[in-house]
């Protein structure tokens, strides 16, 4: 099963994608996590991406698409995957669609996690991320077992640079201009499903499971 997660920054795409991945035994692929791992390791790609990410802008399509196509070509993606944070523009979605068409394949479901802008800024200030394994927490809603420490790998949790209020507002603008048209793109292909992302994360996941069955 090949799944795309849609939704504003902070809507809960990553949280839900990791639950889907575990439940369905498919890899969780987050382009944001891949960029952050590259930044942490000081790679050329990381340096290039960081300049855009810090401003809350999108990394150019060319760079992002190459990275994603390489990733989904790996062996563990044969049975499917859940994409979190890709595609983020119509051209990205078109490239992915063309690549899949080569083998008569397609995206099975696009899950749109719907959360109004008002809730987003509040949510982001409480987000804490593990830069080592990509796990995400919330200081109030989804706290780690031990404050400041990742449940999964024991690393220290951080507030991402781009989760500060000013940058979040810009990311929301970018989302509405460049990414939200994907809702229509996948709706036209009859694979769009929308869930209410303001519910508790476990309830959202129950709704998603019903859709994916």
Q: Among residues 71, 160, 169, 199, which one is catalytic? A: 160
How many helices (H) and strands (E) the chain has is answered by: 9, 7
- Would you call 52 exposed, middle or buried from its count of C-beta atoms within 10 A (0-12, 13-18, 19+)? middle
CB of 40 to Zn ion, least distance (A): 12
When asked if residue 120 is in the footprint of Zn ion (CB under 5 A), the reply is no
When asked if residue 212 is in the footprint of Zn ion (CB under 5 A), the reply is no
- Sites for Zn ion among residues 133-192 (CB under 5 A): 133, 135, 150, 152-153, 155
Q: Which residue of 17, 21, 53, 130 would you call a contact of Zn ion, by CB under 5 A?
A: 130
Interface contacts to ligand ADP, rule CB under 6 A: 7, 9-15, 30-32, 35, 52-53, 56-59, 64, 85-88, 92, 123, 126-127, 136-138, 141-142, 162, 171, 197, 199-201, 204
CB of 58 to ligand ADP, least distance (A): 4
Helical (H) or strand (E) element with 36: helix 31-40
Q: Among residues 13, 36, 109, 128, which one is catalytic? A: 13
CB of 128 to Zn ion, least distance (A): 11
DSSP for residue 176: I
Q: What is the spatial distance between Cα 173 and Cα 180, in angstroms, rounded to a whole number?
A: 10
Quickly count: other Cβ atoms within 10 Å of residue 79's Cβ.
12
Residues whose CB is less than 8 angstroms from the CB of residue 105 and which lie 6 or more positions away in sequence, other chains included:
2
**Residue 204's binding partner out of ligand ADP, Zn ion, none, with CB under 5 to 8 Å set by partner kind:** ligand ADP
Q: Among residues 2, 36, 88, 123, which one is catalytic? A: 88
Q: What is the spatial distance between Cα 180 and Cα 186, in angstroms, rounded to a whole number?
A: 11
Contact 167, 56 (CB under 8 A): yes
Query: Residue numbers of the site for Zn ion (CB under 5 A)?
Result: 130, 132-133, 135, 150, 152-153, 155
């Amino acid at each position: 099963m090949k799944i795309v997660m849609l939704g504003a920054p902070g809507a809960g795409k990553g949280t839900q994608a990791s639950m889907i991945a575990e439940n369905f035994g498919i890899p969780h692929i987050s382009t944001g996590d891949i960029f952050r791992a590259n930044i942490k390791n000081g790679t050329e790609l990381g340096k290039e991406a960081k300049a855009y990410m810090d401003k809350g802008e999108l990394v150019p399509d060319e760079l992002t698409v190459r990275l994603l196509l390489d990733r989904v070509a790996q062996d563990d993606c044969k049975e499917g995957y859940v994409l979190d944070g890709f595609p983020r523009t119509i051209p990205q979605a078109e490239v992915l669609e063309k690549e899949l068409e080569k083998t008569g394949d397609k995206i099975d479901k696009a899950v749109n996690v719907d959360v109004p802008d008002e809730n987003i800024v509040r949510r982001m200030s409480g987000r804490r991320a593990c830069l080592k394994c990509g796990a995400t927490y919330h200081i109030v809603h989804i706290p780690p077992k031990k404050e400041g420490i990742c449940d999964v790998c024991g690393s220290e949790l951080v507030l991402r640079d781009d989760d500060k209020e000013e940058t979040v507002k810009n990311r929301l603008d970018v989302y509405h201009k460049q990414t939200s048209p994907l809702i229509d793109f996948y709706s036209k292909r009859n694979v769009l499903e929308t869930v209410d992302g303001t519910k508790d994360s476990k309830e959202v996941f129950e709704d998603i499971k019903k859709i994916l069955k």
